[in-house]
Amino acid sequence: MLRVVVCVSGGGTNLQAILDAIENGNITNTKIEMVISNNPGAYALERAKNAGVEALCMSPKNYESREAFHQAFCKKMEDVNPDLIVLAGFLVNIPKEMVAAFPNRILNIHPSLIPSFCGVGYYGLKVHEGVLSRGAKVTGATVHFVDEGTDTGPILLQKAVEVQSGDTPKVLQQRVMEQAEWIILPKAIDAIANNRVEFVDGIARVIEA
């Protein structure tokens, strides 16, 4: 049984996709141990409670310094010691010590086809604004393992989504969530839970069931 902690900052629609996939059997051998939000108002915390999952808020505002928050956050993760940490719209930089403590055990979802529109400064709507201002006609989402860089870790899954005429950043964001993120994030977790992830020369891939 894969023990997972999901880290969130906002509405938690990716968390909901994971919870639904566990409920309907698209993710097997997986238990969400805890949901952690840095934002006390995150609706994701309600979603966790509604699903009977422990919901914890750790706000940087409750700590003396960013460093103190990072330390407490790392300590919490090491105490829970999950098999996998899933960053599902988590707008906090992951401390390097935590990356080192969980090698290839932290998964992130990014709302573009990495290496396009990723890296420092590309988060949330800024990603989709970038896509539209470049005039790209195809975008998508990427599930990748987290390394010490920003969106530089091994790519596990990607799915393309068409940009359409008249798209606004919000419209495009919603389409990328519906047609890519909510599909590939559960698929990635199920693959990890069922030992269907292969690493060869630093390249990760899902072995189809």
Residue 175 contacts a copy of itself per CB under 8 A: no
At 59, is the secondary structure helix, strand, or coil? coil
Within 13 Å, how many C-alpha atoms sit on residue 55's CB side?
Answer: 20
Residue 115 contacts a copy of itself per CB under 8 A: yes
Residue 157 contacts a copy of itself per CB under 8 A: yes
In whole angstroms, give the CA distance from residue 76 to residue 99. 14
At 6, is the secondary structure helix, strand, or coil? strand
Query: Toward a copy of itself, which CB reaches closer, 64 or 201?
Result: 201
Only one residue has tokens 């880290």, namely 7
Query: Toward a copy of itself, which CB reaches closer, 69 or 122?
Result: 122
Residues binding a copy of itself: number (CB under 8 A): 27
Within 13 Å, how many C-alpha atoms sit on residue 69's CB side?
Answer: 16
Q: Are 198 and 205 in contact (CB under 8 A)?
A: yes
Least distance from C-beta 157 to a copy of itself, angstroms? 6
Q: Which of 136, 171, 179, 194 binds a copy of itself (CB under 8 A)?
A: 136
Q: Which of 91, 134, 148, 178 binds a copy of itself (CB under 8 A)?
A: 134
In whole angstroms, give the CA distance from residue 106 to residue 80. 14
* CA-based nearest residue to 112, from 66, 181, 9: 181
Q: Contact region for a copy of itself (CB under 8 A) — 3-11, 89-97, 100-108, 154-162?
A: 154-162
Q: Which of 18, 21, 193, 204 binds a copy of itself (CB under 8 A)?
A: 204
Any catalytic annotation for residue 70? no
With vertex at residue 75, the alpha carbon angle to CA 81 and CA 20, rounded to the nearest 5 degrees, is: 45
Q: Which of 17, 107, 113, 172 binds a copy of itself (CB under 8 A)?
A: 113
Catalytic residue numbers, as ranges: 110
| Residues in contact with a copy of itself by the rule CB under 8 A | 113-117, 132-138, 140, 142, 154-160, 165, 202-205, 207
